[in-house]
Amino acid sequence: MVQRIGLAHGEGGELTHQLIQDVFVKSFGHGVQTKLDSAILPGMIENMAVTTDSFVVNPIFFPGGNIGKLAITGTVNDLAVCGAIPRFITAGFILEEGFPVNDLKKIVQSMAEEAERAGVHIIAGDTKVVEKGSADGLFINTTGIGELREAPCPNPEEMKKRDAVIISGTLGDHGVSILSARNELGLMTDVTSDCASLNHLIQELTDEIRGIRIMRDPTRGGLATTLVEICEDFQVTIELEEDCIPIRKDVQGACDILGFDPLYLANEGKIVLIVDSSLADRALTILRQHVFGRDAEVIGQVSSLESGKLLLKTPFGTTRRLQRLSGMLLPRIC
């Protein structure tokens, strides 16, 4: 039987994990490996960090942003969470025949504005045009280059029992905003995407806190999938307190109506971090002083240095194990 790619392979969950391991890692695996969103290149000039990403979001314009802004913020955040200062971005554009030039101008302008806010430079690019019906309007590919800071980078190998798990804000805003913009299920909300560059927030945090074990931006697959990956990669068990996880009422309401779990919805302006428990209050104070961290909360802790499980303690006193996103939730989300 011939295996074929399905939309669920792009959701960031179990099928994405299998695809990466069975196809790409087997062919491309080499000495420079990473369990983070960026690869750190020790020994290179300035100790560089590099990341690459592609953006196929549908619709291209959505409440709170567009594909261009998303391309910059997503690339910046992948560099920042590994402890790098984002410096440069390249951008490749695949344009479909017939795409409105005015829309392209708006998208490119939003990229320029977001790059300026983030303090990065767009230094190179490429443009290809394909026949009508071949690209659904516009796809963007980016490469980000960052400089590792002199301050200690997050080190997940130093995780220990009772380390605090913190989320910088409410979950699922981006996912619900995209779903609303599609007008497919009659969902009407005022939720806007949380799409934002977090490098300045992260720098303020890492300037003050030396006990950060790991940072990730919970994009495709949401918070649950991101933490499952951390648990499995570093063989720790994390317990989350469901009552402590910040979710907007309108996001939760949309999820209740549509049968979605906000723990698995994409976020484009949030970070999840694990820090030394003695520094959790200080980390929360720093986060909440920033516009992109004002809803930050401690949502759990590392409960064991074995097993590689993510557990959720419910308000009813029960505990359930969370797995990676399985199947297709919201395709074309970023």
Q: How would DSSP label each residue in 140-192?
A: EEEEEEEEE-SSPPP-GGG--TT-EEEESS-SSHHHHHHHHHHTSS-------
The answer to whether residue 165 scores a pLDDT higher than 70 is: yes
Write the pLDDT tens digit of every residue in 70-113: 999 999 999 999 999 999 999 999 999 999 999 999 999 999 99
Map out the domains of the chain with their CATH numbers: 37-148 (3.30.1330.10), 156-322 (3.90.650.10)
CA distance 296 to 313: 19
Which of 19-33, 52-66, 75-89, 310-324 is the least confident region?
19-33
pLDDT classification of 35: cutoffs 50, 70, 90? low
Residue 212 Cα distances to 58, 238, 244, 265, angstroms:
35, 16, 20, 25
The answer to whether residue 32 scores a pLDDT higher than 70 is: no
What are the helix (H) ranges across the chain?
Answer: 14-19, 26-28, 67-80, 101-118, 173-182, 199-208, 222-234, 249-258, 280-288
pLDDT of residue 69: 98
The answer to whether residue 51 scores a pLDDT higher than 90 is: yes
Apex 174 CA angle, 147 and 273, nearest 5: 45
Which of 108-112, 183-187, 198-202, 282-286 is the least confident region?
183-187
Apex 237 CA angle, 20 and 290, nearest 5: 80
Which tokens sit at 118?
A: 């983030």
Write the pLDDT tens digit of every residue in 112-141: 999 999 999 999 989 999 999 999 999 999
Q: For 117, phi and psi rounded to 5 degrees?
A: -60, -40
Which of 44-58, 76-90, 232-246, 274-288 is the least confident region?
44-58
Give percent of the chain with pLDDT exceeding 90.
73
pLDDT of residue 30: 60
pLDDT classification of 37: cutoffs 50, 70, 90? low
pLDDT classification of 39: cutoffs 50, 70, 90? low
Apex 242 CA angle, 239 and 245, nearest 5: 100
Which residue bears the tokens 């690209």?
Answer: 135
Say which residue, 290 or 30, is predicted with more confidence.
290
Mean of per-residue pLDDT scores for the chain: 90
Give percent of the chain with pLDDT exceeding 70.
92
Listed in order, strand segments (DSSP E) in 21-79 are: 39-41, 48-55, 61-62, 65-66
Write the pLDDT tens digit of every residue in 206-216: 999 999 999 99
